[in-house]
Amino acid sequence: VSPPRLDIPRDYNAAHDLLARNAGRPDKLAFIDASSGATLSYGELDHQAHRFANALRAQGFAPESRVLLAMLDTPEWPVAFLGCILAGVVPVAANTLLTTKDFDFMLRDSRAQGLIVSKALLPVFESLIGQIPTLRTVITAGDDSSSNMALAHMIRAQTATKTIATTCADDACFWLYSSGSTGTPKGTVHLHSHLMQTAELYGRGVLGIQASDVVYSAAKLFFAYGLGNGLTFPMSVGATAVLLPARPTPTEVFGILKKHQPTIFYGVPTLYAAMLADPARPQKSELKLRVCTSAGEALPAEIGKKWTAQYGCDILDGIGSTEMLHIFLSNRPGEVRYGSTGKAVPGYALRIVGDDGRDCGTGEIGELQISGPSSALMYWNSRAKTKATFSGEWTRSGDKYTVDADGYYTYSGRSDDMLKVGGIYVSPFEVEACLMTHPAVLEVAVIGMADSDELIKPKACVVLKSGQAATAEELKAHVKQQLAPYKYPRWIEFVSELPKTATGKIQRFKLRQAQS
């Protein structure tokens, strides 16, 4: 079967394409806010995105300038994202769970001239406003005040005249920050053509998404996974997406699945495990799911089997990356093998490369590399990291895999020490550096440990200074205060020393072996 082929013209604006595809269905619901019940039709979305593009121009934003988006998932998110792109302004979508220190880095690194921030997140930015040399405009979302800089007010004050920036398919369109192994995020630059390539290859090619679908993604829009799931794929065909500004707890998610009856649900393994353990989980007959997806970390086979038994609907486990924008390796409907990540998504080529640089044979472990039309242009301000990751046609994943004779790929760990926690990368070095700032800590090593659902969480092995004391709870609280909350170690083991090489390097693999 030949892969779906998408020829994108040279002169091309991704937001214009996504909106123009739905010009014939102005009354169809594009987005539903599951918290407030507010809705946005495709016609309203088109008007609001163009009005916002005009507002940005009126504020003096030139094409190619950057704007940081730190927004909760509400219908204002697509309005802001698409409005920026229509104006040729480059939205930089930020993880809203991060800290002031992280945002300080992102604003300076991206030299953002604007910030669009949900009112509820303003306290995290307060100490930065006025301190970042390039940042001159702050726009608030979720703000119904009459402030001139409230997004809703700016939209009302503009006309919906359609002026689209002259962009080409290979122009920078938007950035996402991917977590770095040292804790420093990397601005990953994506092009205008990339959104529609992922919609065609995975959204249509694997999920078979169509206008009649209603989708809900537990992964937020600022993640590459959530952006495709909740914005690009539904908009590419005129489907409806449900957005949830709050944290997706099992109660919230089941509430959405019952009330809005999504046909496609995109989750992550930790959430599927928690949903299956929820005594108040609904019956199969109460839901209308036709397909579910999982990414972020490998889906333990047991969770997939239990879900299918409970809801009569498979979970398509797959893997993508911020660098490739979405999923390039996935199980397919009707061909699911739990415990495996499936086969290459048609349109992407995969290879597994050994330490000697040669292609691995069947069953041999090596690093997974990907070639396909959505690979990022570069990491901003990081020439060495760009060269190490994007090597001509091939993009390195940093994940180790094997492939069997039938073409099914199986995950076998990371090439570096990075952990994936609830689908989000956590750098063990960042957590260690944070614990080292506690006055009682002499040395520390952070590794991943499987919980009772076989899902990886951070564990810290800590050596205390002689004569000093600290409790596990105190050290956990210390990390929670300084880093994004999902990064804290779920277990602390006090040890008298850490295993080290002759040159003093901590041997994390020995600590990992001691767990198993």
List contacts with ligand 3SK (CB under 6 A): 224-225, 295-296, 319-322, 326-327, 423
Q: Which is nearer to ligand 3SK, 298 or 462 (CB)?
A: 298
**Cβ-closest residue to ligand 3SK?**
320
Q: Which is nearer to ligand 3SK, 368 or 460 (CB)?
A: 368
Q: Widest CA span of the chain, in angstroms?
A: 73
Beta carbon of residue 301, minimum distance to ligand 3SK (angstroms, whole number) = 17
Beta carbon of residue 406, minimum distance to ligand 3SK (angstroms, whole number) = 22
Q: What's the rounded Cα separation, in Å, for the pair 327 and 299?
A: 14
Q: What's the rounded Cα separation, in Å, for the pair 366 and 515?
A: 23
Beta carbon of residue 112, minimum distance to ligand 3SK (angstroms, whole number) = 22
Q: Which is nearer to ligand 3SK, 45 or 319 (CB)?
A: 319
Q: Which two tokens stand for residue 92?
A: 């930089």
Torsion over CA: 390, 392, 395, 401 (sign) = negative
Strands (E), 86-229: 90-93, 114-118, 137-141, 172-178, 186-191, 214-217
Beta carbon of residue 229, minimum distance to ligand 3SK (angstroms, whole number) = 8
Q: Which is nearer to ligand 3SK, 83 or 296 (CB)?
A: 296
Beta carbon of residue 329, minimum distance to ligand 3SK (angstroms, whole number) = 9
What DSSP letter does each residue of 361-384 carry, written as one string? -TT--EEEEEE-TT--SEETT-HH
Beta carbon of residue 414, minimum distance to ligand 3SK (angstroms, whole number) = 12
Q: Which two tokens stand for residue 206?
A: 């694997």
Beta carbon of residue 92, minimum distance to ligand 3SK (angstroms, whole number) = 16
Q: How many CB atoms lie within 10 A of CB 426?
A: 25
Beta carbon of residue 393, minimum distance to ligand 3SK (angstroms, whole number) = 20
Q: Which residues of 444-470 are buried (b: 16+ CB within 10 A; e: fewer)?
A: bbbbbbeeebebbbbbbbbebeeeeeb
Q: Which is nearer to ligand 3SK, 140 or 330 (CB)?
A: 330
Q: Which is nearer to ligand 3SK, 115 or 298 (CB)?
A: 298
Q: Which is nearer to ligand 3SK, 224 or 257 (CB)?
A: 224
Beta strands 291-294 and 240-243, pairing class: unpaired
* CA–CA distances in Å: residue 472 to residues 429, 438, 466, 481, 488: 19, 12, 17, 14, 11
Beta carbon of residue 177, minimum distance to ligand 3SK (angstroms, whole number) = 12
Q: Which is nearer to ligand 3SK, 87 or 418 (CB)?
A: 418
Q: What's the rounded Cα separation, in Å, for the pair 503 and 208?
A: 54
Beta carbon of residue 223, minimum distance to ligand 3SK (angstroms, whole number) = 6
Q: Which is nearer to ligand 3SK, 114 or 304 (CB)?
A: 304
Q: What's the rounded Cα separation, in Å, for the pair 73 and 227?
A: 10
3 state SS for 417-448:
CCEEECCEEECHHHHHHHHHCCCCEEEEEEEE
Torsion over CA: 95, 96, 97, 99 (sign) = positive
Beta carbon of residue 94, minimum distance to ligand 3SK (angstroms, whole number) = 15
Q: Which is nearer to ligand 3SK, 83 or 203 (CB)?
A: 203
Q: Which two tokens stand for residue 465?
A: 């200074």
Which residues, 6 or more positions from 248, have their beta carbon under 8 angstroms from its beta carbon? Answer: 218, 271
Beta carbon of residue 506, minimum distance to ligand 3SK (angstroms, whole number) = 27
Q: Which is nearer to ligand 3SK, 221 or 319 (CB)?
A: 319
Taking a C-beta distance cutoff of 8 angstroms, is the pair 171, 165 a contact?
Answer: no
Q: Which is nearer to ligand 3SK, 15 or 319 (CB)?
A: 319
Q: What's the rounded Cα separation, in Å, for the pair 120 and 247?
A: 13
Eight-state DSSP code of residue 486? G
Q: Which is nearer to ligand 3SK, 56 or 173 (CB)?
A: 173
Length of the chain: 516
Beta carbon of residue 247, minimum distance to ligand 3SK (angstroms, whole number) = 18
Q: Give the SS3 label for residue 60.
A: coil
Burial (Cβ within 10 Å: 0-12, 13-18, ≥19) of residue 311? buried
- Residue 69 bridge partners (DSSP): 93, 116
CA angle, 424 as apex, 71 and 69 as ends, to 5°?
20
Eight-state DSSP code of residue 108? H
